[in-house]
Structure 1
Amino acid sequence: MPAKVEKPRHRSPLRLALGKAWFITQRRIEWHASGKTFARQRSAGPLGHLHASHRTPMLRELRGVDMWLQHNKVASLGVAASCIDGLILKPGEVFSFRRMVGKPKASRGFKVGMVLNNGRITQGMGGGLCQMTNLIYWMTIHTELTVIERWRHGFDVFPDSGRTQPFGSGATCAWNYIDLQIENRTPDTYQLRLLVEGKDLCGEWRATVPQRVRFAIAERNHMMRHEWWGGYSRHNEIWRTRHDAVSGTDLGEEFVTENHAIMMYQPFLEQASS
Structure 2
Amino acid sequence: MNLQKKNSFEDFPPLSGNELKEKIKASGVKLIHIAEKLGLSQQGLNQRFKAQKVKKGFILELMEVMKVDLSFFFDDQNEIKHKQSGLLKRINIYLSWLKFQEVVETNLDLGQKIGFTKNYVDQVLNGQIDITELFVDALLSLDDGVRKDWLWNGNGKMFLETPVLTHEGEYTITQIPFIPVSARAGFVENTCQYSELTTFPVYMQKSEKIDDYLVVEIDGDSMEPTLLPKTKVLIKQIPPENWGFTVGVVVVCFSDMIVVKRITENKLQTTGFLTLRSDNVAGGMMELMDTDIISMFRVIRIVDAEVR
Q: TM-score, normalised by structure 2?
A: 0.26
Q: Whose relative contact order is higher, 1 or 2, with alpha carbons under 8 Å and at least 6 apart?
A: 1
Q: Which has the larger radius of gyration?
A: 2
